[in-house]
Amino acid sequence: MIYYRDPDGKPVYSAEPRKTADGRDFIAVRQSEETSFDPAPAKTAEAPAGGGRKLLYYRNPMGLPDTSPVPKKDWMGMDYLPVYEGEEENGSSVKVSLDKVQRSGVRTEPAALRSLSRAIRAPGVAKPDERTLHSVVLRADSFIEKLHANELGQKVEKGAPLFRIYSPDMVRVQVDYRVANVGTGSREERGALQRLQNLQIPSPVVEELQRTREPVISFDWPSPVSGVVLRRKAVEGMMMRSGEEMMLIANPSLIWVIADIAEQDIGEVSIGALANVRFKAFPNEEFAGRVTFIQPTLEMATRTAKARIEVVNPDLRLRFEMFADVEIGTGAGQNQVTVPLSALIDSGSRKVVLVDRGEGRFEPRAVKTGRRNDRHVEILDGIQADENVVVAATFLIDAESNLKAALSAFTADAGNPGEPKPGESAAPVAEKLSMEAERKQP
C-alpha cells in the first residue's frame, strides 16, 4: 500500500489507515492501482457523422440541471446526452427523440376555428298541451238522461253533444225568465237573463226559450272544445253534483314532450332551441320540436330540470304518455379555437395541451376550456389557431414533462440530490427521486 483514499471518491487522502466521519474505512490504494492526480485532458467534442451541427455540451440524462463540456456518466452510470446547436431547452418544454416520437405513434393536429354544436340527450314523456285542457263541469245539480261521449279517448268536436241532462235548477231559472216582463228591458228581465248566463245554459236552449216562451225540460250539453276524452266520471242515469267534473277533454293536435335535462346541461339549453324527438313506438322516425319552457327549479332526487318541447301531431299518431328520446341542439354560433378531445389532458386540477414546437420538442401549455361536443373542445385561452397540438400519445410526453419538472424542482429545493450523501447508498436516493416525481404529477 502507498496511501489510503476517501471511500466516496472525495479528494481526501491519508498515508495511514483512517476512517471517515461516519465510521467507514478509507480504501487502500496499492502501487499497481495508483492513478495520476493531474486532471485528465478534455476530450474533443466531435460532430455527428454526416451532420454539420455543433456539439454544445452534454446534459444530465435524468433532466437535472447539470451539464458537462465533455462526455461523462452520472452517479448511476448513465451516459450524459449530447446537446447540439438548436436543441437547447428553455425549461418550459420537453425534448423527445424523433425515433421515440415515431415509435410511440405521436400524432399532431393544428388547432382550428370551429363552431361547436352539441346535442344534449334526455329522456322524455308525451303529455297533453295543458292550454287545451277543458274540464266539463255543470253549475247545478243534474241528472244524466243520455251519455253520448261514453268512451275514454273518444274524439269529440266543438259543439257536438256530450250528454243529455235534466236539471230542476235550470228549469226554474227558465220559468223565472218566462214570467219576467220580456221585451221591456225591466230589471226582472235583466236579472232572469243573467241567471241563465250564470248557469251557462247552452245558447240553443236560451234561443228556444225566447222564441217559444216555454222552458226546455231536458236538453243536450255541447262540447266546449274539440279533442279527445281523457277522463270521464259521468255515467248514464246518475246525478252529478254542482261543480263536480264530468269529463276532461284535451286537443292532441299539439303535444308536449317533457324532457328531464341533467343539471350539468341546463346552461346549454335555451328557449327556442330546436329538438329532435324519437318515440319508442316509432323508432325509425324523428319528429321536429322546439323548446318552449324550462322549469325554474330542479328535481332534488334526480338533479334534473323539466324542459317542455312542443311537437306538432297532425295525424294524431302520437299518444299521451309515450316514452321518447330527445336531442336538443346547442352551441351553434361564433367560431372559436378548438382542439380534438384527445389533445386535452385534464387531471381535475389542471388542463393542459401539448404544443409541438418541432424537432421533437413539446411544450405543455395550460389552457382554459369552454364548451365541448363528442369530438372537440373549445379553448378560451392558452393556444392560438393553427398551433400544432399532440392528439395521440399525449400521456407519454406529459409523463416525461412531469418527471423533468419534478426532478428540477427537487434539485432546486434540496441542492443536488442526484448524488448520494456520505453514508447513503444510491438506492434510497433513486427511490426518493421517483417518489418526488410521482408526487409532482397530478
Give the tens place of pLDDT for each residue, 285-337.
Answer: 999 999 999 999 999 999 999 999 999 998 889 999 999 999 998 766 678 88
Instruction: Classify burial at 257, counting beta carbons within 10 Å of its beta carbon; exposed 0-12, middle 13-18, buried 19 or more.
Output: buried
Average pLDDT, the chain: 81
pLDDT at 45 over 50: no
State the CATH class of domain 139-243: mainly beta
CATH superfamily to which 119-129+252-330 belongs? Efflux pump adaptor protein, beta barrel domain (2.40.30.170)
Among the residue ranges 313-322, 357-366, 395-404, the one predicted with the least confidence is 395-404
Instruction: Classify burial at 200, counting beta carbons within 10 Å of its beta carbon; exposed 0-12, middle 13-18, buried 19 or more.
Output: middle
Q: Cell numbers at residue 208, please? A: 228556444
Give the tens place of pLDDT for each residue, 216-254.
Answer: 999 999 999 999 999 999 999 999 999 999 999 999 999
pLDDT at 44 over 80: no
pTM check: above 0.75: no
Whole-angstrom distance, CA of residue 274 vs CA of residue 308: 12
- Position 115, amino acid: S
SS3 category, 188: helix
Q: Hey, which residues does 58 pair with through a beta bridge?
A: 68, 82
State the CATH class of domain 89-115+334-442: mainly beta
N residues, the chain: 442
For residue 387, give the nearest of 419, 423, 357 by alpha carbon. 357
Q: What is the band of 6 on the pLDDT scale with cuts at 50, 70, 90? A: confident
pLDDT at 160 over 80: yes
Structural domain boundaries in the chain: 3-33, 89-115+334-442, 119-129+252-330, 139-243
Whole-angstrom distance, CA of residue 60 vs CA of residue 304: 55
Give the tens place of pLDDT for each residue, 182-195.
Answer: 777 788 888 889 99
pLDDT at 430 over 90: no
The pLDDT value given to residue 402: 59
